[in-house]
């Protein structure tokens, strides 16, 4: 998942396993084993309401996000945090990425970084300015910054991430004033499906967690 390092002078940076545990806290209530929904900005009254810009060509956006969801399903089947993305250039998916942080124990191997690596093996970097990203979960601050520096044209995401999100949930890295030109970002496309993927992952045992919690008594709640 997408994660934020501690600020200088605070506690030591979190390990990947600690970060996975913290993300799990977004999905479960802190004082019970009941499943909770991912929290998103409280100012967003209707979390499933899509931006008019997305609605102009909803079927196309859903088609590309569905491909990202399918890649996230592959990640889940492999025991990885089910966050995935696709890069779309000239109306075609040209690169894909899924989280690889659990397997590699490398917290920088987020879906967006892997997709960018695949893209750069095929195209020059400046082509990213003509490319859109579809990702199941809002990019973290680290990924949002990288996308801005590469000049991504637009980002579409499924569910928000109000703990580590860099496209408005925590920081608006995509649009804040900076040296690089910002990029537009739209959320909510297959939001419920993205949340359910994460719920399915976090009811499993996480062998990489520092203090694994027994989860055999947890039930998957279908309501988002």
Active site residues: 112
**Residues 138, 108 contacting (CB under 8 angstroms):** no
DSSP 43: T
Q: Which of 220, 68, 92, 56 is CA-nearest to residue 159? A: 68
**C-alpha span between 76 and 37 (Å, rounded):** 18
Beta bridge partners of 137: 159
Structure tokens at 139: 């990019």
């Amino acid at each position: 998942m997408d994660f934020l390092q501690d600020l200088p002078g605070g506690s030591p940076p979190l390990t990947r396993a600690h970060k996975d545990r913290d993300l799990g806290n977004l999905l479960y209530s802190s004082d019970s084993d009941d499943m909770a929904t991912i929290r998103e900005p409280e100012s967003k009254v209707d979390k499933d309401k899509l931006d008019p810009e997305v609605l102009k060509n909803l079927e196309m956006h859903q088609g590309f996000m569905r491909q990202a969801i399918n890649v996230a399903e592959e990640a889940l089947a492999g025991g990885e945090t089910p966050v995935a993305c696709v890069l779309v250039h000239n109306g075609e998916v040209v690169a894909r990425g899924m989280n690889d942080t659990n397997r590699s124990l490398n917290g920088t191997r987020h879906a967006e970084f892997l997709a960018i690596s695949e893209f750069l093996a095929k195209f020059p970097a400046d082509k990213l300015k003509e490319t859109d990203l579809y990702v199941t979960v809002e990019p973290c601050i680290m990924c949002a910054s990288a996308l801005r520096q590469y000049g991504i044209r637009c980002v579409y995401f499924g569910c928000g991430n109000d703990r580590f999100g860099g496209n408005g949930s925590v920081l608006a890295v995509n649009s804040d004033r900076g040296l690089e030109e910002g990029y537009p970002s739209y959320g909510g496309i297959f939001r419920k499906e993205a949340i359910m993927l994460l719920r399915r992952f976090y009811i499993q045992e996480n062998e990489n967690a520092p203090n694994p919690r027994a989860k055999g008594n947890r039930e998957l709640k279908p309501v988002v």
